A = this chain, B = another copy of it.
Amino acid sequence: MTAPPKPKGIVLASGGMDSLVLSAFATRESEISLLHVTYGQRTERKELACFHAIADHLKVKERMVADIGYLRTFGGSALTDPAVDIPPADLERKGVPVTYVPFRNAHFLCIAVSWAEVIGAKNVYIGAVWADSSGYPDCRPAFYGAMNEAIRMGTKDDSGIRVKAPFVNLKKKDIVLMGKSLGVPFEHTWSCYRDGEKACGRCDSCALRLAAFAEAEVPDPLEYGVRPDR
């Protein structure tokens, strides 16, 4: 007796640590395709290399790269506007940081949903993290509930597409531990907001990642330009 076939799923994979662990996690319940979105971000070259390395590692057949470069034209974020500096890490900061790309994750979901509706995928995975994040509004758990209702109303009645954000209430430390237990290749990821030879170790994203690995007591295989004492 063979197991019933898994439903198709689309995983939004930036090439960062969260989406690597998410991709490995999703293979347990879905036959996954990987979707990467380029939006004119500083680190696109590195992200894309990681995306393909992750897809190769997981032996994903269907992968897609979608370009929404107009977000760079709009500007308004340090991640897409070279004139806005990446600020030094400050995880106690109040308010939305300048690295917020307005409503970015909604674009990611729409792209995944359109592709899902064409290929008949039921699950769309996104590695958004809220509990332990930079405070981007499009990472709030309630945003994903609202998007699911919009998807239910805005796609065919039988599409059955659901967004899953299984990490939204996890701590980054727990994502590292899950990745370790799934045996994921953390060396094929890029989290830093800067496009340097090594991860800078000084931006919010490096600070969150370093803290997560430290709390999980798992070694981070990446090299950092600056690395806090541990």
- Residues of A participating in the B interface, judged by any CB pair closer than 8 Å: 64, 66-71, 73-76, 96, 100-107, 110-111, 113-115, 117-118, 137-138, 140, 142-143, 145-147, 149-157
Contact = CB atoms under 8 A, between A and B. Distances in A.
A32 to B, nearest CB: 17
B150 A143 contact: yes
A144 to B, nearest CB: 9
A67 B66 contact: no
24 contacts: A64-B73, A66-B73, A70-B111, A74-B114, A100-B156, A101-B114, A102-B155, A103-B110, A103-B113, A103-B114, A106-B110, A106-B113, A106-B151, A107-B107, A107-B111, A110-B110, A137-B155, A137-B157, A140-B154, A143-B153, A146-B153, A146-B154, A147-B150, A150-B150
A74 B115 CA distance: 6
Nearest to A65: B70
B143 A156 contact: no
B106 A76 contact: no
B153 A142 contact: yes
A96 B153 contact: no
B118 A140 contact: no
Given A143-B150, A146-B153, A153-B143, A102 B114 contact: yes
Contacts of A114: 71, 74, 101-104, 107
A46 to B, nearest CB: 21
A157 to B, nearest CB: 7
Contacts of A154: 103, 105-106, 137-138, 140, 143, 146-147
Contacts of A96: 156
A152 to B, nearest CB: 8
A128 to B, nearest CB: 10
Contact of A66 (B70, B104, B152): B70
For the complex of A and B, 10 pairs with smallest distance between CB atoms? A76-B118, A102-B117, A146-B150, A66-B70, A143-B153, A143-B154, A146-B149, A138-B154, A102-B114, A142-B153
